[in-house]
């Protein structure tokens, strides 16, 4: 009995020492990604090692480095979480294992271009011995990094969904469309993997519709904006001068889009000539209806 008490006391003492040496990481609440403006802000709190003098300039420098590193790690988790939330197709039993694997991989990848928007001053650090930091990452940089890891799995998952097929090819004498603009209500929630469905719930467009190389470089299946003019201008900058403009409705969960059957058929038929879906030339205008 005495031996058990001694062992228990040693374990408690050891845990106290570890806790003193390794401060508990604080995780601030994170704001949602801004897909329209193309960035994600990550908040973090860095604490220096306990062996450094409290309030010293060396401790401050270490706390700043720790805060930035934690922001990068939080970015990895946020990106994977955003993917899982955005994909209504992702429901297999291995979701948690897959997410853990992706988090581990992404934590090892350096995301360049993080811009520190806010950080505690040295004076504030001396008061609390921690650095609060906000780092802004551009989605145009972060998402391709994510998609290089996720694209094969994402394409595999969405390839299993029932797909809508074009009924007939459009008349050859009409000009071929080379892009797609989808106007949706303002309550639509942009995401990494938006999809278009027809009235029967069959997939018209999704990540699996995009060529793998395009998806990996673009990082997302569709781009987002708030005006039709911006969408057309952006498409034109990428070589699409004659986009098809359609209206969409909110799918369950507000992250995907439903199309009326005649419109869905038009998209598929026109794509058979213009191949704009495979090229990822799709813009969603949020609040365009």
- pLDDT, one tens digit per residue, over 38-90 is 999 999 999 999 899 998 999 999 999 999 988 988 888 888 777 777 655 55
248: pLDDT confidence band, cut at 50, 70 and 90? very high
> What does the alpha-carbon distance between residue 213 and residue 218 come to, in Å, rounded to a whole number?
8
Average pLDDT score over the chain: 83
**Interval 189-204: pLDDT, tens:** 998 889 999 999 999 9
Amino acid 17: pLDDT = 34
Amino acid 169: pLDDT = 67
User: Out of 136-145, 195-204, 220-229, which region has the weakest mean confidence (pLDDT)?
Assistant: 136-145
In 3D space, the residue among 274, 280, 77 whose CA is nearest the CA of residue 194 turns out to be 280
| For residue 163, pLDDT beyond 70 | yes
> What does the alpha-carbon distance between residue 272 and residue 281 come to, in Å, rounded to a whole number?
14
> 257: which DSSP letter?
E
Q: How far is CA 213 from CA 74, 216, 265, in A?
A: 27, 5, 26
Amino acid 26: pLDDT = 67
| For residue 13, pLDDT beyond 90 | no
Angle in degrees, 0-180, between the axes of helices 95-107 and 139-159, rounded to the nearest 10: 150
Angle, alpha carbons 115-121-125 (nearest 5°): 120
143: pLDDT confidence band, cut at 50, 70 and 90? confident
| For residue 16, pLDDT beyond 70 | no
Amino acid 12: pLDDT = 36
Phi, psi of 203 (to 5 degrees): -75, 125
């Amino acid at each position: 009995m005495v031996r058990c008490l001694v062992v228990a006391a040693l374990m408690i003492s050891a845990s106290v020492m570890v806790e003193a040496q390794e401060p508990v990481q604080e995780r601030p609440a994170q704001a949602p990604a801004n897909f329209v403006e193309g960035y994600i802000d990550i908040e973090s709190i860095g604490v220096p090692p306990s062996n450094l003098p409290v309030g010293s300039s060396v401790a401050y420098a270490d706390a700043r480095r720790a805060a930035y590193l934690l922001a990068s790690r939080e970015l990895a988790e946020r990106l994977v979480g955003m993917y899982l939330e955005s994909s209504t197709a992702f429901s297999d039993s291995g979701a948690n294992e897959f997410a853990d694997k992706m988090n581990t991989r992404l934590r090892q990848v350096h995301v360049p271009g993080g811009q520190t928007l806010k950080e505690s001053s040295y004076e504030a650090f001396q008061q609390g011995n921690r650095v609060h930091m906000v780092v802004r990452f551009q989605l145009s940089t972060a998402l391709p990094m994510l998609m290089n890891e996720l694209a094969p799995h994402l394409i595999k998952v969405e390839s299993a969904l029932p797909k809508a097929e074009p009924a007939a090819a459009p008349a050859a004498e009409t000009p071929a469309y080379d892009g797609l603009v989808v106007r949706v209500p303002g309550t639509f929630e942009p995401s990494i993997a938006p999809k278009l469905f027809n009235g029967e719930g069959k997939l018209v467009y999704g990540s699996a519709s995009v060529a793998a190389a395009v998806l990996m470089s673009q990082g997302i299946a569709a781009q987002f904006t708030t005006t039709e003019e911006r969408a057309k201008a952006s498409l034109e900058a990428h070589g699409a001068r004659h986009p098809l403009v359609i209206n969409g409705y909110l799918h369950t969960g507000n992250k995907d889009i439903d199309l009326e059957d005649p419109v869905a058929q038009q998209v598929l038929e026109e794509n058979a000539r213009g191949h704009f879906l495979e090229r990822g030339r799709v813009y969603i205008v949020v609040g365009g209806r």
